[in-house]
Amino acid sequence: MAYETIILDVDNHVALVTLNRPDALNALNDQLLSELAACLTACQENDKVRAIVITGSEKAFAAGADIAMMKDKSFVDAFSGDLFTAETDQIMRVRKPIIAAVSGYALGGGCELAMMCDFIICSESAKFGQPEINLGVVAGIGGTQRLTRIVGKSKAMDMNLTGRFMDADEAERSGLASRVVPVKKLIEEALGAAQKIAEKSMVSVMVVKEAVNRAYEVPLREGLLFERRMFHSLFATEDQSEGMGAFLEKREAQFRDR
Ligand code: CO8
């Protein structure tokens, strides 16, 4: 499929998806979000892809949902059209790991898209924020929910109520970003992390994603039970005996996703 608002490169089992609406700082409009959702679904179905990186430009990962597109919507347009729900649900169904590589602005829907990814690597120029309050609205795709679970109530309230931006150091300190790297190293670092993941057993990788995400959904006891049962289940795979055998034989494991 040809995309107009994103660029897809697949190399060495890693898909690099670049948001590409430079004139609007990668603001998320219907077209971009539906192309992104379609592209990620295609990556899910493509055996050549084992890990995905989503990035933007040096100036902006994404400066939010497209304000021009939203401005004249009525409540009924937004509610009955279920604005952005289908696309974000589709993105959340991707079972392969997705890394957000963030430079510059990740605001509103941009910050929320980054948080929908499995982890965030950002550059020193990153600025995260939920400034919807300045527009007379509130976050709509996770800015009050995922952000609160990630950084806690105080910072989530601060960001959502004042609309202030969080810089890269604060994002790393708060657990929003897993690593901070120089701007010029961002893509290399994110692709390197994706490459490392791509070398693992895809079964274990998808179990990790499901298990960690479950930690946000269920009580600890249920989460621990899920983790333990998944751990037990992996003893049914060839990759378990290959991984443990390779360690004991002091060689690299050759995983076959079985
Ligand atoms: N939407 C549309 N266009 C945008 C957006 C946006 N979110 N952000 C920037 N642009 C455009 C500007 O209008 C400008 O276009 P033009 O050159 O044609 O005038 C171009 O991008 C460059 O922007 P600036 O000139 O403003 O660049 P600056 O470097 O001066 O400022 C900022 C950069 C600080 C990022 C500034 O552009 C800004 O504040 N942008 C808006 C940030 C914002 O408020 N984001 C939240 C949007 S609302 C949202 O995301 C809700 C998501 C949930 C929806 C859920 C629905 C269910």
| Residues 39 and 139 grouped into a single domain | yes
Global pTM?
Answer: 0.97
For residue 89, tell me if it sits in a domain. yes
Domain residues for the domain of 134 are: 6-198
Same domain, 120 and 38: yes
Per-residue model confidence (pLDDT) at position 145: 97
Count of structural domains within the chain: 2
**Of 35, 87, 132, 189, which one is the catalytic site residue?**
132
For the stretch 177-188, pLDDT in tens is 999 999 999 999
Residue type, 142: G
CATH number of 217's domain: 1.10.12.10
97 lines ligand 1 (CB under 6 A): no
CA of 195 to the centre of ligand 1 (A): 32
- Are 120 and 207 within one domain? no
User: Is 17 within 8 Å of 1 (Cβ atoms)?
Assistant: no
Q: State the average pLDDT over residues 237-248.
A: 98
Interface pTM, i.e. ipTM? 0.97
- The reply to whether ligand 1 has any atom less than 6 angstroms from the CB of 25 is yes
Cβ of 27 less than 6 Å from ligand 1:
yes
In 12-112, where do the E strands start and end? 14-19, 51-55, 60-62, 98-102, 105-107
C-alpha of residue 59 to centroid of ligand 1, in Å:
12
Q: Is the CB of 64 under 6 A from ligand 1?
A: yes
Same domain, 117 and 211: no
Helices (H), 107-183: 109-116, 146-151, 153-162, 168-173
Q: Identify the CATH number of the domain in which residue 130 sits.
A: 3.90.226.10
The answer to the question of residue 245 being in a domain is yes
What pLDDT score does 1 carry? 76
Q: Do 189 and 216 share a structural domain?
A: no
